[in-house]
Structure 1
Amino acid sequence: MKTTGISTLFFLIVLTATVADAQVGVGAKPAKKAEVLFDGSRAMLDAKWTYWKSPRLSATLPIKWQIVKDPVDKGTVVNTNDPASAGGKYGAADIVTKKEYRDFRLHIEFLIEKPGGNSGVYLQNRYEIQVLDGDSTTHGMAAVINEAAAPYSAYNGTGKWNAYDITFRAARFVNGKRTEQPLVTIYFNGKKIHTNQAISQVWGGPNSGIDGGNDEGKGITDVPGGLKLQAEGHDVLYRNIWIEELDLKKANTDF
Structure 2
Amino acid sequence: MLYACDTKQKETTTIAEESEVEKEEIEETPTPTKEITDPKETEVWDPEPKAISFDSMNVPSDAIVLFNGTDLEQWIATKDSTQAGWTINPDKTMTVKPGTGDIQTKRNFGSVQLHLEWKAPDVLVGDGQGRGNSGVFFQNRYEVQILDSYQNRTYANGQATAIYKQHIPLANATKPNDQWQTYDIIFHQPEFENGKKKTSGSFTVIHNGVLVQDHVEILGTTEYIGPPKNIPHGKGPIKLQDHSNPVHYRNIWIRELK
TM norm structure 2 = 0.69
* Whole-angstrom CA distance in 1 between matches of 2:109 and 2:83: 23
The structural deviation recorded for 1:241 is 0.3
Does residue 1:186 correspond to 2:201, yes or no? no
Does residue 1:81 correspond to 2:97, yes or no? yes
The structural deviation recorded for 1:96 is 0.4
* Whole-angstrom CA distance in 1 between matches of 2:202 and 2:92: 33
Aligned to 1:132: 147
* Whole-angstrom CA distance in 2 between matches of 1:104 and 1:149: 21
**Count of paired positions:** 194
SS in 2 for 1:164: strand
SS in 2 for 1:138: helix
The structural deviation recorded for 1:177 is 1.7
SS in 1 for 2:172: helix
Does residue 1:33 correspond to 2:62, yes or no? yes
Q: What CA deviation, in whole Å up to 9, does each residue of 1:136-173 have, x standing for no partner?
A: 61011110111112255311121210011011110012
What code does the residue aligned with 2:86 have?
W
What code does the residue aligned with 1:81 have?
K
Q: Which 5+ residue runs of structure 2 have no aligned equivalent?
A: 1-51, 125-130
Q: What CA deviation, in whole Å up to 9, does each residue of 1:46-76 have, x standing for no partner?
A: x2110113xxx6xx8432211114xxxxx31
What code does the residue aligned with 1:174 have?
E
What code does the residue aligned with 2:111 have?
D
* Whole-angstrom CA distance in 2 between matches of 1:195 and 1:218: 22
Inter-CA distance 49–174: structure 2 relative to 1 (3 Å threshold): same
Alpha carbons 1:101, 1:245 under 8 Å: kept: yes
Alpha carbons 1:37, 1:242 under 8 Å: kept: yes
Aligned counterparts, 1:206-245, within 5 A: 217-245=228-256
Aligned to 2:102: 94
What code does the residue aligned with 1:83 have?
G
Aligned to 2:116: 108
The structural deviation recorded for 1:31 is 2.1
* Whole-angstrom CA distance in 2 between matches of 1:221 and 1:162: 33
What code does the residue aligned with 2:62 have?
K
What code does the residue aligned with 1:234 have?
N
Alpha carbons 2:165, 2:223 under 8 Å: kept: no
CA RMSD of aligned residues (A): 2.4
* Whole-angstrom CA distance in 2 between matches of 1:152 and 1:65: 31
What code does the residue aligned with 2:83 have?
P
The structural deviation recorded for 1:120 is 0.4
What code does the residue aligned with 1:204 have?
E
* Whole-angstrom CA distance in 1 between matches of 2:207 and 2:57: 12
Q: Which 5+ residue runs of structure 1 have no aligned equivalent?
A: 1-20, 70-74, 85-92, 206-211, 248-255
Alpha carbons 1:49, 1:98 under 8 Å: kept: yes
Structure showing greater radius of gyration is 2
Q: What CA deviation, in whole Å up to 9, does each residue of 1:58-109 have, x standing for no partner?
A: xx8432211114xxxxx3111012334xxxxxxxx10000100111111000
Identity %: 31
Alpha carbons 2:137, 2:143 under 8 Å: kept: yes
Alpha carbons 2:170, 2:213 under 8 Å: kept: no
What code does the residue aligned with 2:74 have?
K
Alpha carbons 1:81, 1:232 under 8 Å: kept: no
What code does the residue aligned with 1:40 have?
G
